[in-house]
Amino acid sequence: MGNATPDWEDELECWLKPFLDRLGHKARRRMCPRYIAGLIGPGERKSIQPIAERFAAGDYDQLHHFIADGVWDAAPLESELLVQADRLVGGDDAVLVIDDTAMPKKGERSVGVAAQYASTLGKTANCQTLVSLTLARGEVPVMLALRLFLPENWTSDTARLKRAGVPVEYRTPRSKPEIALAEIDHVMGAGVRFGCVLADAGYGLSAPFRQGLTARGLTWAVGVPRHLKVYPVGVKLIWPVAMRGRPRKRYIPDILSRAAEDMLADAKWQNVSWRNGTKGRLKARFAAVRVRIADGPPQRIKDKGQQHLPGEEAWLIGEHRTSGEKKYYLANLPAATDLRTLAAKIKARWICEQAHQQLKEELGLDHFEGRSWQGLHRHALMTMIAYAFLQHRRLAQAGRKKKNQWTSASAKPAGNTPRNRRPHSSTANSAMPILQTRNP
């Protein structure tokens, strides 16, 4: 995106107008741009104290009150973020990526902190975990939601929840997939346009999550563990023959389910490339077969104990990476979908990891030093709004560059450009660099 120009703060204030109109109170309308400018501008730490020193001199108390203690509803700003995100990257060719991101945190007083698996560290650590929704199109991501997951040792401690200011409606235990589905409903209710939901195996292993997406009429592609059970697509339900005793009252499948990795063991694997990376074309070996997912009602089958009956028909996809790592996925894309399209859709999920990294390294998502539910979510909301503004600038700059290149090309004498070639354009579809938005 390049370095921010001297007038970026004026541009920010203008772009923020629909957000500020929803804030109402003049003090909040004054503090909001300063806090977001502090997140975007220079400085190593993006917590309230250093932001106040750089962008709100003498107004630390007001800035702190705005984020941590002020009585105002974040919902209108969250709704405006969805409107702006859809305007920037929404469309039938957009993807909605479900994931979570961990923020290491010391102590035990900060809301949601517990020993839990931190994907960013690759191990269990003391951290907070935020469920995230990212809208992306043409490799341009915009973060839509960041909602804190509360572990069991929090939801079982009413006094602790109250001390951290957790709203009553969020005090009951909710799994990450349940949080994600609730946020998806919010996004859909706002009319945000996207074509496919993507998620890793942490969400894809959940049958209620997959079934919830299907029940909402959504197309999805999710990671699954290698041992997840599936049936051949041609599986049939038959009446079992009773050798003795009463006649059987329930159908059973005519073939047993198999682990995903076993189902693909004899499949035809092909080299597939799906996009250009920083070191050339990205490629791996893929295979895909149609299956029925073993997530129907449980039933005892002969001497095999409880088994899940065949459920929804879907693609089972395998990936063998050049590193030797093997991954497995399920997708309810149409049966006529080709292998390269399946691979490209699955691999589009990487964009959310890049967005998480940028939100932390450039905008200080993990720099918040308060302990309350309200403060953490307001800080996260401000980082998402800042991120959306930077993507707005990025897309605007790419559009101007493209327009200038086409204008220059059309001004050249006819015949200089071969008929079968078009002028090269650098668009917003290129992979996003780490945000560089420092004051000159």
Q: What is the DSSP string of 226-254?
A: TT-EEEETT--EEPPPPSSSSPP-S-EES
Q: Which residues are bridge partners to 53 per DSSP?
A: none
Q: C-alpha dihedral over 356, 435, 111, 129, to 10 degrees?
A: 10
Closest C-alpha among 206, 424, 431 to residue 330: 206
Q: What is the pLDDT of residue 312?
A: 94
Extract the residue ranges of the chain whose pLDDT is less than 50. 1-3, 414-440
Q: What is the pLDDT of residue 420?
A: 37
266 in helix, strand or coil? coil
Q: What is the pLDDT of residue 168?
A: 96
Residue 50 structure tokens: 């250093």
Cα separation of 363 and 384, whole Å? 9
DSSP string, 1-40: --PPPTTHHHHHHHHTHHHHHHH-SHHHHHHHHHHHHHHH
Cα separation of 51 and 38, whole Å? 5
On whether the CB atoms of residues 13 and 410 are closer than 8 A, the answer is no
99's enclosing H/E stretch is: strand 95-104
Q: What is the pLDDT of residue 303?
A: 58
Instruction: Return the axis-axis angle of helices 75-89 and 373-411, rounded to nearest 10°.
Output: 20
Cα separation of 117 and 120, whole Å? 9
DSSP string, 360-426: HHTT-GGG-----HHHHHHHHHHHHHHHHHHHHHHHHHHHHHHHHHHHHHHHSPTTSS-TT------
Q: Please report where in the chains the tokens 């859809």 appear, as a residue.
A: 86
pTM of the model: 0.88
80 in helix, strand or coil? helix
Q: How many CA atoms lie within 13 A of 364 on its CB side?
A: 26
